[in-house]
A and B are shown apart, each in its own frame.
Chain A
C-alpha cells in the first residue's frame, strides 16, 4: 500500500471493561478483571508472566477465541466500539509459528486470501497484494512456492497477508520467537516500515523487549492474578518494574540474563574443522580418544539419503564439557547433532564412541539399540511435542527407566526426583500436550535426565523460551556439566553459547544447496 493510501486506514481503539475469559474445561481464568483503554494509533508492548493471558487477549481482539462452546466471557471487550467477532478484518493477527500460518501454495494467493474472505473486489485485491508485499520487503514472484520460504520470510508473508486486509488494529503474538537472529531482524524491520506509513494501532507480545522497544510508545504488564501490574511509557515501566519483570521471565534490556557472562570466564573457542579436508585434523580439534566420549572421522552428514549438507567434519565431544554447534539456517546444525546422537546414519565417515563410553555396545552409536542409547546419549528435540509418548507428565518421565526395566521403586524415586528438580511436580498428572511452551521444554529435558545419560544432545533448547525458563535450563546444564556430563547443543542463541559453551563448532551456510531446506 502506498504511504498515502495506508494513512487513510484510521487506527482502531480498544476498550476492555472488567473483561475476563475462561477456556472451556479449565478451572482458572486465563484473563480476569481487565480494564484497559487503548487510543487509536497507540503502539503498545504487552508483557506479563507466561500464563498471564496475553495471547488470550490478542486472540479475543482478533475475534478468533471462538463462541460459547470454547469458553466463558465476563465483562466487555470492544474494538472501535464493536464486539471483535462482529468486525472481522478490522484487526489483523500475526501468530508465533511460521509453519502454521502459511495457507496457500503460492505467495500471491496466500496474501490475497484474507481480502477474498472479506469480499474485496478482484482488482483491488491484487493492488493490495502488491502493496503489502512491497511493504514487508518480500521481493519475490507472486507464483513463488510458499513451501520454499525461510521462517523469517514466512512470517513476513503472513504479515503481508494481514496488512492486505487493511486492519486498523495490528496484533502481533510473539512473531519472532521461533526465528533465528537474522529472521528476527527482518520481521522487526518490516513492522517498523509498516508503522512509518500507517496509523494503525499496534499491540505486540514479546519476551525479548529489546527487539520492539524502539517501536512502541506504551508498555502494559498484565498481572498473573488478574488486572494490570504496570502501564506507562516504556522507559518508565521498564526502569520501575525491571526487577519484577525479569523475575516473571521478561528479557529487560540492560539487565542481562542474570547469570555470569560465561562459566569459564572466556568466550568459547572454535574447534574442529569443516570442509577443510583431512589434512587440517590437528591435535586441537581432536584430542586423544581416551578423554573423548565421541569422535568423528571424515564425517559427512545428510538428513535423507543423497542430500549431504556438510562433509569432512572432524570434531570431538568430551565428558564434563559443552560443545556448541552454531551457524546460519540450512548449515546442517540439527543434522550434525542428530548424527552425533546416534539417530541419523552418517552419509559417509564415522562417529566413534570411546570404549569406556560405549561400555560394550559397539563403537558406532548408530548401531546401538534404542535401549542402549538411553544411558549413554540423551537427545532433546527442537520441538518437544515430537518426543512425547505418554498421557501424563509422570508417565512420560517413566518411559525411559521402564524401557531399561528398572525396578518399580527405583523408577518412582527417579521420576519424583526429576519432577522436583524441573519444577514439574504440580503438573505430574497433566497431559504433556496441554503444558505451556516453557513447561514442555522442561519436561522434554526431564525425560532425558530420567535415564542419566553421560552425553546430552540438545537441539535449540532455548528457542522461544522466556527468561525464567532460559535461566533454569542454563543452570541445570551447568550443574550437569560440572558433574561430568558431556553436552552438545545446537543454538542460535548467542547468550546461551556464551554462558555455557567451552567450545564452539561454527558451521557455514551450504555453498550451492537450495535455501528450500532452510525452514528449520
Chain B
C-alpha cells in the first residue's frame, strides 16, 4: 500500500507533471555522473538543500523517505575509503586495506555524489502519482499506451502479491511442509507466488480487454497531461544546478572527467 501511495499536498510541486520531475532528475544525474570530484557534488548538494524546502515534504517525511540514500552514501564512501584506488600519501594500511590521500578524496566525492543524485531523485518521485506518470509518459513522451497502461495496471497487483505471500506462508505451514530449511521453503513459496501472479495477471488482462483495451480505435485520455511553464521551470532549475556545479568544478580545477 505505502509503496503505491504518493505523498499529497498543496504546494506547486504536486502540480508539476511527473515527466518534468523525471527529466530534471535524469538531467542532474547525467551531468553529475560525468565527473568524480567533490566540488561539483558539493555545489549541487548545496543548491538542492535550499530547493528541498519547496519539495512538499515535512522534515520527518523527508528523512524517512530518503533514509536509504543516507545509508547507501556513507557505506559506499567507506568502501571507497578502504579499498579505493590508492594514490598519494598513505595514512593507514592493513592487508588489502589502503587508506590514502587519493582514496580519501575519492570517498568524499563518492559520498557527496550519491547524496547529490539520490536525494533529489527520491524527493521528486515521492510526490509522483503512478497514474499521472503513466499519463505523462503516454501523452507527452508518446510511449506506446499498451505498454504504459499495462505496467500501471500491473503495479496495482503488488498489494495483492503481498497478501498472497502471507497466505502462502500460512498454507505451507498448514500443509505440513513449513518446517525444513528456510532457503528451500522460500524457493518453493516463491515459485507458488509466481504461478499465482501469472494467473492474476491473465485475469487482469481479460478484465482490461473486456473494457475495450486494445480496441482498434484511437485512444483518448480522460486526464490531460501537459508540459508547460511549470514543467519547463522545474527542468530549467535542474539544468541551472547542473551547469553551476560543472562551472564551479571546472573553474576550481577539480573537474575530473570519468572517461579521461
Contact = CB atoms under 8 A, between A and B. Distances in A.
Interface of A: 59, 62-64, 88-89, 92-93, 95, 97, 99-106, 108-109, 112-122, 125-126, 129, 145-147, 158, 161-162, 165, 303-304, 338, 341, 343-344, 369-371, 373-374, 377-379, 381, 383, 385-389, 399-400, 403-404, 433, 447, 451
A386 B168 contact: yes
Nearest to A129: B222
Given A64-B206, A88-B215, A114-B211, A126 B222 contact: yes
Contacts of B4: 105, 147
22 contacts: A59-B206, A88-B216, A95-B206, A103-B207, A105-B156, A117-B219, A118-B217, A119-B215, A119-B217, A119-B219, A125-B220, A126-B222, A147-B156, A158-B207, A370-B173, A370-B176, A379-B171, A383-B167, A386-B196, A387-B171, A387-B174, A403-B176
B176 A451 contact: yes
Interface stretch (B27-35, B49-57, B87-95, B197-205): B197-205
A117 B156 CA distance: 19
B167 A381 contact: yes
A64 B209 contact: yes
Contact of B215 (A118, A379, A386): A118
Given A95-B210, A385-B196, A399-B177, A115 B204 contact: no
Contacts of A121: 220
A146 to B, nearest CB: 8
B164 A386 contact: yes
Interface string B116-149: 0000000000000111000000000000000000
A117 B178 contact: no
The 5 A-B residue pairs whose C-beta atoms are closest, nearest first, are A370-B178, A403-B176, A114-B211, A117-B212, A100-B203
A447 B212 CA distance: 40
B206 to A, nearest CB: 5
Given A62-B210, A165-B211, 19 more contacts: A95-B207, A101-B207, A103-B207, A117-B211, A118-B215, A118-B217, A119-B219, A120-B220, A125-B220, A370-B172, A370-B179, A377-B174, A379-B174, A381-B174, A383-B167, A385-B196, A386-B168, A387-B174, A389-B177
Contact of B211 (A109, A162, A388): A162
B139 to A, nearest CB: 11
B190 interface: no
A64 B213 CA distance: 10
Given A88-B212, A103-B204, A120-B220, A389 B159 contact: no
Contacts of B153: 103-104
Contacts of A126: 222
Contacts of A120: 220
B210 A64 contact: yes
B230 to A, nearest CB: 21
Nearest to B191: A389
B18 to A, nearest CB: 14
Nearest to A341: B174
Nearest to A402: B176
Interface in B168-189: 168, 170-179, 188
Interface residues of B, number: 52
Given A101-B207, A117-B211, A117-B214, A386 B220 contact: no
A344 B169 CA distance: 10
A447 B175 contact: yes
Nearest to B217: A119
B160 A387 contact: no
Contacts of A116: 219-222
A125 B223 CA distance: 10
Nearest to A158: B207
Contacts of B222: 108-109, 112, 115-116, 122, 125-126, 129
Nearest to B129: A105
B176 A371 contact: yes
B177 A370 contact: yes
A399 B172 CA distance: 11
A130 B237 CA distance: 39
Contact of B179 (A93, A161, A371): A371
B195 interface: yes
A126 B156 CA distance: 23
Given A122-B222, A125-B222, A389-B192, A109 B212 contact: no
Contacts of B216: 88
B196 A113 contact: no
A93 B206 CA distance: 10
A404 B177 CA distance: 10
B152 interface: yes
A374 B176 CA distance: 6
Nearest to B177: A403
Contact of A104 (B156, B179, B195, B217): B156
A103 B175 contact: no
Contacts of B228: none
Contacts of B213: 113, 117
B253 interface: no
B229 interface: no
Nearest to A382: B167
B60 to A, nearest CB: 20
Given A89-B212, A117-B212, A99 B160 contact: yes
B217 A389 contact: no
B212 A165 contact: yes
B163 to A, nearest CB: 8
